[in-house]
């Protein structure tokens, strides 16, 4: 399993836009992000709740298990890339 996790809801328009950036990140940077749908999968939802701990409270939610950095909601591609590489960033 990758250390980069994406939690999303199938019908969430913000999640759809962010997943397009995840696909770009994987293609351009060679980073692997594991994606988990939470609205229709209770096990994935449970995993999200364990990691979120009131950090975000919704999706899309991104979590880096190595750096413990997270992203809530939509974010720029540049910040997604920094998050994946463990570099500091300020959420917009």
**Domains of the chain, each with CATH number or no CATH:** 4-85 (3.40.30.10)
Q: How does residue 80 score in pLDDT terms, banded at 50, 70 and 90?
A: very high
The pLDDT tens digits of the residues spanning 4-62 come to: 999 999 999 999 999 999 999 999 999 999 999 999 999 999 999 999 998 999 999 99
Q: φ and ψ at 34, to 5 degrees? A: -85, 130
- In terms of phi and psi (left: phi > 0; alpha: psi -120 to 50; beta: otherwise), the region of 66 is alpha
Residue 74 confidence (pLDDT): 96
The overall pTM is greater than 0.85 = yes
């Amino acid at each position: 399993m990758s250390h980069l996790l994406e939690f999303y809801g199938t019908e969430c328009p913000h999640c759809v836009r962010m997943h397009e950036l995840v696909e770009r990140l994987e293609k351009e940077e060679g980073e692997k992000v594991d994606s988990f749908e939470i609205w229709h999968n209770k096990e994935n939802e449970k995993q999200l709740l364990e990691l979120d701990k009131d950090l975000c409270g919704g999706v899309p939610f991104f979590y880096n298990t190595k750096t413990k950095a997270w992203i809530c909601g939509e974010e720029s591609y540049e910040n997604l890339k920094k998050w994946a590489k463990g570099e500091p960033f300020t959420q917009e």
